[in-house]
Structure 1
Amino acid sequence: MDGNDSHALLSGEQLIYAITVPLSTSIILANLVIILGIAWNRQLHNTPNYLFLSLLVADLCTGVALPFIPLMGLNRELSSGSCLVAHFFPNFLFLAFLFNLVMVHYERYICIVDPLRYSNLWMHRSFPLAMLAVWAPPLLYASLPAFGWNNWTGPDWSGCCASSQNATAPPGCLPNRTTCCSYRRVFPNAFIYLEVYGLVLPAILAIAGMTGRVLWITRGQLKDICRLHRSLERGGQASDREHRLNLRYVRCVVAVSMTFLACWVPQLIYMHVCIAFLISDTRWSSTTHIVLSCTGIGSMAVVPLVLGLANRQYTEPACTLLQKLRGRWCRGRRRGQSEEIVGNV
């Protein structure tokens, strides 16, 4: 690897850490707060919250792996085993997070759409089976490159990490037995297409469809409530209560829409840009790849935090602890001021 390539790799890693470390730290801390809130409140120890707890654990792991996901787009000098591990674990955690997110949305979707069948859901009758369904398929799929579905012996990797100091070294191979580690060597094109269009995109569309269906049902129930309210009051005009209900619904739709735009659109853009460059087989700027990958994965990891922080039951223990600490700090400050006044007197 010559000096220019080494400098480019170093600057790329510095940019990745500069973007992902603050975001990763925030995701980890927020998940820990919600996880402790669920563990602290025994009333929340039920199957729906256990499913959400599994999602939080997957999101926390995604936050830990967040700095390593953009690194998959850089060419690095790693051994074959280290290269597979460096690509396997981030991909597995990302897919596990996505599967958990679909499961949580599905459970809440059935609760609203078909409440009579909700208590008889298979995930309530067999919680270990539900955990197996959201963790085992991502593990199996992410492990396929380790079992031979890879492009490790591809012919187009010469010069990727070739040593400029040793002209006799084989292409893509260094004297210290390190190799050129790139996502193109670990993931074949068919693997990437199947993951994007067979797993990730259908999962995002399923979440969007379930969310839209819930909003549509909520709108119908709101109309029924307003109609019943008018019949009870025997009036033909909308009351202030109806206006407040409609305003609350509009706020809910706006909040959901903004959340989808902020959390899912960057990931969709990143996926399709990657596929476009993969089809054209052209090299693209590492800075562009880093920014898009960090933005896409990071914004998607915020979704469980939005769901968790919006529930007061999850955040109540943390709020209580902060209030106690604030009260002690205020009492200590007043006590110090009182002692200072007495000392001056």
Structure 2
Amino acid sequence: MDDDSHALLSRESLIYTITVPLATSIILANLVIILGISCNRQLHNTPNYFFLSLLVADTCTGVALPFIPLMALNRELSFSSCLLVHVLPNFLFLAFLSNLVMVHYERYICIVDPLRYNNLWMHRNFPLALLIVWSPPLLYASLPAFGWNNWTGHDWNSCCKSIPKLPPLSNCSTNGTTCCSYRRVFPNDFIYLEVYGLVLPAILVIAGMTGRVLCITRGQMKDICRLHRAIERGSQASEQEHRLNLRYTRCVVAVSLTFLACWVPYLIYMHVCIAFLVSDTKWSFTTHIILSCTGIGSMSVVPLVLGLANKQYTEPAYKLLQKLRDRWRRTQELEEAAL
């Protein structure tokens, strides 16, 4: 085996080594929360249906996660197969982001305008809301299939051989027949529009709504403290006020750490990719694998943080684990008694 083949196998092995455990964890965690919502009839309402749609999108993103780093490799595929392996993961990612914005918006309205919350159009026409959430990502991701691509660009037929910074997979021969590359499917304008016209604004909207909710919570907490002081007729902060301030501080710290851990890695990955796309320079394939897996994977954890923090969602799984543990203990006790 020559050095090139060994390096290629090492890159493929690195992709699956990082993505498969991460994707498996994301899928299993989502299934646990989905099971919790499905088994509890009290959770069968519109807000949890939106969250359920987000979990389904997140599960699909976990399924597509191992294929995302492979998009940086050149492969020998037909036009339709090449579109499928690029368009489908992109659609699942955009659908996940769209569902995440909808969930944050629904909870934002619940806090900002609770009196009108139950009369929102999302509650009156839930199927339309789901259509709005899933259809635009599908339409935009499918644009390369309707002609917005570089499939007929110059020198594309020999890209498996002529572009060293995008190494081919093991099934990509050097006969120059049909080469599949993300550069053939996604033009630069398409990538810029998606990043700076869809993805980045969505992240900023989520951050803005979260910050607004924290400001409203802070104002309400101050009102509670002033009311408590008026009732107690004291000028000093009571123990209850200290507990409220401590709870709010913990909430701010948790939100900040979640944003830093889940969104910052993806923002770094996104802008690094754009920088290398603009400069058209060579960069380490190992770095690309680590950044893509860390960025997409950390962003996929956001729904899990929201779901696992709710005991109602995890209660069925907890009860199941408790039953299995009790059964295992009884089995151990019977075996010990038999001895």
TM-score, normalisation: structure 2: 0.94
Alignment of 1:53-92 (within 5 A): 53-92=52-91
Q: Displacement of 1:158 after TM fit? A: 6.1
Q: Displacement of 1:82 after TM fit? A: 1.1
Q: Displacement of 1:80 after TM fit? A: 1.8
CA 151–9 in structure 1, closer or farther in 2 if over 3 Å, else same: farther
Q: Does 1:182 align with 2:191?
A: no
Question: Contact 2:108–2:209 at 8 Å: present in 1 too?
Answer: yes
Alignment of 1:46-125 (within 5 A): 46-125=45-124
**Counterpart-to-counterpart distance in 2, 1:11 and 1:102:** 37
Equivalenced residues, count: 330
Q: Displacement of 1:75 after TM fit? A: 1.6
Question: Contact 2:32–2:314 at 8 Å: present in 1 too?
Answer: yes
Q: Does 1:270 align with 2:275?
A: no
Q: Displacement of 1:281 after TM fit? A: 1.6
Aligned to 1:309: 308
**Counterpart-to-counterpart distance in 2, 1:118 and 1:230:** 31
Question: Contact 2:161–2:174 at 8 Å: present in 1 too?
Answer: no
**Counterpart-to-counterpart distance in 2, 1:215 and 1:298:** 26
**Counterpart-to-counterpart distance in 1, 2:216 and 2:155:** 53
**Counterpart-to-counterpart distance in 1, 2:328 and 2:140:** 51
Q: Does 1:140 align with 2:136?
A: no
CA 82–231 in structure 1, closer or farther in 2 if over 3 Å, else same: same
Secondary structure at the residue paired with 2:76?
strand
Aligned to 2:16: 17
**Counterpart-to-counterpart distance in 2, 1:118 and 1:269:** 36
Aligned to 1:208: 207
**Counterpart-to-counterpart distance in 1, 2:282 and 2:4:** 14
Q: Displacement of 1:232 after TM fit? A: 1.0
Question: Contact 2:26–2:301 at 8 Å: present in 1 too?
Answer: yes
Amino acid aligned to 1:289: H
**Counterpart-to-counterpart distance in 2, 1:268 and 1:86:** 23
**Counterpart-to-counterpart distance in 2, 1:207 and 1:9:** 39
The CA RMSD measured in Å over matched residues stands at 1.8
Q: Displacement of 1:105 after TM fit? A: 0.3
Q: Deviations over 1:303-338 (max 9, x none)?
A: 000000000110000011111111111122122222
Secondary structure at the residue paired with 1:181?
coil
User: Identity of paired residues, percent?
Assistant: 81
**Counterpart-to-counterpart distance in 2, 1:9 and 1:96:** 32
Q: Does 1:197 align with 2:217?
A: no
Question: Contact 1:78–1:178 at 8 Å: present in 2 too?
Answer: no
Secondary structure at the residue paired with 2:179?
strand
Q: What residue ranges of structure 2 are gaps of 5+ in the alignment?
A: 163-171
Q: Displacement of 1:5 after TM fit? A: 4.9
Q: What residue ranges of structure 1 are gaps of 5+ in the alignment?
A: 164-172, 341-345
**Counterpart-to-counterpart distance in 2, 1:91 and 1:7:** 30
**Counterpart-to-counterpart distance in 2, 1:179 and 1:115:** 57
Alignment of 1:14-53 (within 5 A): 14-53=13-52
Amino acid aligned to 2:120: L
**Counterpart-to-counterpart distance in 2, 1:48 and 1:321:** 25
Aligned to 2:281: 282
Q: Displacement of 1:4 after TM fit? A: 5.3
Secondary structure at the residue paired with 1:257?
helix
Question: Contact 2:37–2:48 at 8 Å: present in 1 too?
Answer: yes
**Counterpart-to-counterpart distance in 1, 2:67 and 2:138:** 18
Q: Deviations over 1:152-197 (max 9, x none)?
A: 122254642139xxxxxxxxx9688852211111100000000000
CA 78–9 in structure 1, closer or farther in 2 if over 3 Å, else same: farther
Alignment of 1:229-248 (within 5 A): 229-248=228-247
CA 241–175 in structure 1, closer or farther in 2 if over 3 Å, else same: closer
CA 133–5 in structure 1, closer or farther in 2 if over 3 Å, else same: farther
**Counterpart-to-counterpart distance in 2, 1:93 and 1:105:** 18
Aligned to 2:217: 218
After the TM superposition, which of the residue ranges 322-331 and 247-256 deviates more from structure 2? 322-331
TM-score, normalisation: structure 1: 0.92
Aligned to 2:168: none
Question: Contact 1:38–1:45 at 8 Å: present in 2 too?
Answer: yes
Question: Contact 1:160–1:180 at 8 Å: present in 2 too?
Answer: yes
**Counterpart-to-counterpart distance in 2, 1:195 and 1:4:** 37
